[in-house]
Amino acid sequence: MLPTTESAIGETPALIVVDAQDSESETDHPMRSDCGSIPGGREAIVDRINTVVEHARDADVPIVWGKELHRTDFADYGSELESCEPEHGAYGSAAERLDADLVVDEADLPPAEYVVEKRRYNFFHRTDIEHILSTYDVDTVILVGFMTNICVHYTAHGAHERDYAFRVVEEGTGAPTDRLHEIGLECIRYLQPRGLRNVEAVTEALDDYAGNPVVQRVKEEGKVTQETGAVPPTLAGKRPAETE
């Protein structure tokens, strides 16, 4: 259930890093996300993303690394064909990789960290992210990444529609222009006024968080639970009344 709390991270948070993919040009008109709430362009924004990631790891919070990717013939591109954006996110392009400056190694992800691919702006649209959030009993998603006005905004909206609280880290998001960044923030704030926070408030709250017990179990034991596998032979095939 959505927590009505002033906490900068909610009660049981997860961190979603939205589309922080390699920004190397894919076309003659690359999509850039150099504008945000802090000076320094994309490099400074990625640095803030890394800060939040490191605090989330230390706080035993589940982390999802997201990528928008499409087939090379764009058969799954859908209505984005009508967008003003240049072609982006094709398999085989630089976009298959997360930004090289991020503090993550996709080939060796830490426990309770996952890469999830999506086809649309909204991270919740036909992905398995809700299965992951449910496993960790998440009620609040912390959002960082790109772009403020598009995928971050639409993912916040997707969380809102599914009764999650969200906390967008203002300094950890970016857009192509200052105007689009501010429009994105305004729309995000309209959905959930508590949902827009600064990086200091979020990292301080993470430092005070007791940690997700399922994350802690995964880190210690390698699985969310050891109670998996076939039903014990003594129970298999018996009616409920026979097991009492």
The string of pLDDT tens digits covering residues 34-78 is 999 999 999 999 999 999 999 999 999 999 999 988 777 887 677
Number of domains in the chain: 1
Residue 5 forms part of a structural domain: no
pLDDT at 187 (0 to 100): 97
The string of pLDDT tens digits covering residues 106-117 is 999 999 999 999
pLDDT at 180 (0 to 100): 95
Q: Which domain holds residue 65?
A: 13-243
Residue 2 forms part of a structural domain: no
pTM exceeds 0.95, yes or no: no
On average, the pLDDT of the chain sits at 89
Q: Which has more confidence, 174 or 28?
A: 174
**High-pLDDT (> 70) share of the chain, %:** 88
Contact 117, 70 (CB under 8 A): no
Contact 141, 14 (CB under 8 A): yes
Residue 46 and residue 2: Cα distance in Å, rounded? Answer: 29
Query: Phi/psi of residue 158, each to 5°?
Result: -60, -40
Nearest to 144 by CA among 102, 191, 204: 102
The string of pLDDT tens digits covering residues 214-242 is 999 999 999 998 777 777 777 666 665 55
Lowest mean pLDDT among 13-22, 44-53, 83-92, 227-236: 227-236
Segment holding 57, helix H or strand E: helix 41-58
Residue 69 forms part of a structural domain: yes
Residue 112 forms part of a structural domain: yes
Q: What is the CATH number of the domain that holds 230?
A: 3.40.50.850
Residue 54 forms part of a structural domain: yes
Residue 88 and residue 71: Cα distance in Å, rounded? Answer: 10
pLDDT at 153 (0 to 100): 97
pLDDT at 95 (0 to 100): 81
pLDDT at 235 (0 to 100): 63
